[in-house]
Amino acid sequence: MTDRDRPVALITGGVRGIGLATVFNLIGRGFRVVVADLDAPDETDLARLARRSDLTNLIVDVTDSASVDAMVARAVDTHGRLDGLVNCAGYNRHQPVAELEDATWQRLIDVHLGGALRCCRSAHAALKRGGQGAVVNFSSIAAHIGRPRRAPYSAAKAGLEALTRTLAVEWAGDGIRVNAVAPGIIWTRMVEDNIKRGTANRDSLIAGIPLARFGTAEEVASAVGFLMSREAGYITGQTLVVDGGATVNGNW
């Protein structure tokens, strides 16, 4: 396979956490990868990334349509094709609904749900041209169970799963598969920050997980890599839950 024949994947939110682990998984599967994020990678990760071949780094804000369109155009200009899109950009804020400000609600919905919509819309023509496109959206178990103080995040993720099913059907004729992953509690900066702020408690989180530990970014990245690959060629419109059994736990 020549270099120009190697598939190209674009990932948002890819400079740290689960996104960064997904970048390494996709490179391992032979993808050329375009990483786009609001932030630049930190120096250690940048050095790790720079050692890998065919990696392009872009700044994007997924809440801004012009920024998203420019990201997709750069990815296609650089590599001449686009075969995969992973919508991983995200963040979380915990607040009870009674105190929730409009701006918090709107920003969370706009980053997670609006962001994925903008990236999918912008990437559609290039994914269709390739003939075997794949999209993976990042949901969360918060879309499936009632987690207090997470209303905008949970609603955005549930909406993202509905968007995933709609696009799976709308784009099946274009040869594009659209799936989602729903991670449980994964040890990343997002979870670490919540524990440090006191908005989450480590022991009570682990008590609810049958496998009795947090997941790793690499374990979620494997699920994303699988859904992006030809091995998942007959899977579309699905959400793959990666949660150590948390959402099937009846042991209470």
CB of 158 to ligand NAD, least distance (A): 12
Interaction pattern, residues 120-159, with ligand NAD; x per rule: CB under 6 A: ------------------x-x-------------------
Question: Contacting ligand NAD (CB under 6 A), which of 9, 31, 32, 37?
Answer: 37
CB of 20 to ligand NAD, least distance (A): 8
Which of 127, 200 has the CB closer to ligand NAD?
200
Q: Residues binding ligand NAD: what is the number (CB under 6 A)?
A: 28
Which of 174, 199 has the CB closer to ligand NAD?
199
Rg of the chain over all Cα atoms, to the nearest angstrom: 18
Q: 65 near 116, Cβ under 8 Å?
A: no
CB of 103 to ligand NAD, least distance (A): 14
CB of 19 to ligand NAD, least distance (A): 5
Instruction: With CA atoms as reference, report the closest residue to 133 among 8, 6, 4, 1.
Output: 8
Can you spell out the DSSP letters for 49-107? HHTSSSEEEEE--TT-HHHHHHHHHHHHHHHS---EEEE---------GGG--HHHHHH
Q: 209 near 166, Cβ under 8 Å?
A: no
Residue type, 164: T
CA dist., res. 152 & res. 103, Å (int):
11
Determine if 91 is a binding residue for ligand NAD (CB under 6 A): yes
Residues 6+ apart with CB under 8 A from 100: 151, 152
Residues 6+ apart with CB under 8 A from 234: none
Interaction pattern, residues 175-204, with ligand NAD; x per rule: CB under 6 A: --------x-xx-xxxx-------------
Q: With contacts defined by CB under 6 A, name the span among 1-9, 33-41, 75-83, 96-104 that binds ligand NAD.
A: 33-41
Residue type, 127: L
CB of 99 to ligand NAD, least distance (A): 21
Secondary structure (3-state) at 38: coil
Does the active-site annotation cover 153? yes
- Report CA-CA distances (Å) from 16 to 86, 143, 192, 203, 248: 14, 23, 13, 25, 29
Question: Contacting ligand NAD (CB under 6 A), which of 18, 33, 108, 151?
Answer: 18
Q: Which of 24, 105, 153, 214 is catalytic?
A: 153
- Catalytic positions are 153
Contact residues for ligand NAD, defined by CB under 6 A: 12-13, 15-19, 37-39, 60-63, 88-91, 111, 138, 140, 183, 185-186, 188-191
